[in-house]
Amino acid sequence: MKHNDLNERMYKEHIMELYKSPNNFGELKNPTHRHTEYNSFCGDEVTINLLVNNAKIKDAKFSGSGCVISTVSSSLLTNKIKGMKVEEIKKLSKVDMLKLLKIKINPARIKCVLLPLEAVMGALR
């Protein structure tokens, strides 16, 4: 039943495309902030590199080994925070992350969505 209803699917086209060629993957040459966060549930690991200048994000990259959901989430989050003020980033929540992904997330996978946000928060702490 689920598979007949495309809206119910987690793994939509835009998700798979972004997984295959994510944005901002890699390390920054001279990051001002850096942090790695782990997800013991599926063994994911995301490292966030940030270049902060004047309390604003100049550049952001992510690396590590992750599942489809955490990779896509990292890719979208790093895009979003570029140019944002640090203070605003600190207000980002679970709801903002789910909005970024634009798909229905199974509760078991929420951790994968939030992993990059936790890494960003860790880097800015």
Partner 1 sequence: MKLNNQSVKKLRKDFPIFENQKELVYLDSASTTQKPKQVIKSIVDSYETTNANIHRGIYDLSQKATKKYENSKKIIAKFINTSEKEIIFTKSTTESINLLAYTLPSILQKEKDEIVLTEMEHHSNLVPWQQLAKRNDMKLKFIKIKEDFTLDLEDAKNKITEKTAIVSLTHISNTLGAINPVREIFKLAKKNNSITVLDAAQSIAHMKVDVKKIDCDFLVFSGHKIYAPMGIGVLYGKKELLEKLSPFNFGGDMIKSVTLEGSEWNTIPERFEAGTQNIEGAIALGEAIKYLEKIGVNEIGKWEKELTDYSAKELNQIKGVKIYLPKKHSGILSFNVENLPTHDVASMLDDYDICIRAGHHCNMPLMKKLRISGTARISFAFYNTFEDIDKFIKAIKEIMGKVK
Q: Which residues bind partner 1 (CB under 8 A)?
A: 1-3, 8-11, 16, 19-20, 41-44, 66-69, 106, 108-109, 112
Q: How far is the CB of 11 from partner 1 (least distance, A)?
A: 5
Place of tokens 């997330």: 105
Q: How far is the CB of 23 from partner 1 (least distance, A)?
A: 18
Tokens of 43: 């063994």
Calpha distance 24→115 (Å, rounded): 16
**CB of 9 or CB of 94, closer to partner 1:** 9
**CB of 112 or CB of 119, closer to partner 1:** 112
**CB of 8 or CB of 87, closer to partner 1:** 8
**CB of 14 or CB of 90, closer to partner 1:** 14
Supply φ then ψ for residue 57, to 5 degrees: -85, 115
Calpha distance 66→38 (Å, rounded): 10
Q: How far is the CB of 76 from partner 1 (least distance, A)?
A: 16
Q: How far is the CB of 65 from partner 1 (least distance, A)?
A: 8
23-to-19, 20, 35, 77 alpha-carbon distances in Å: 9, 10, 18, 10
Instruction: Report yes or no: 69 and 113 within 8 Å, Cβ to Cβ.
Output: yes
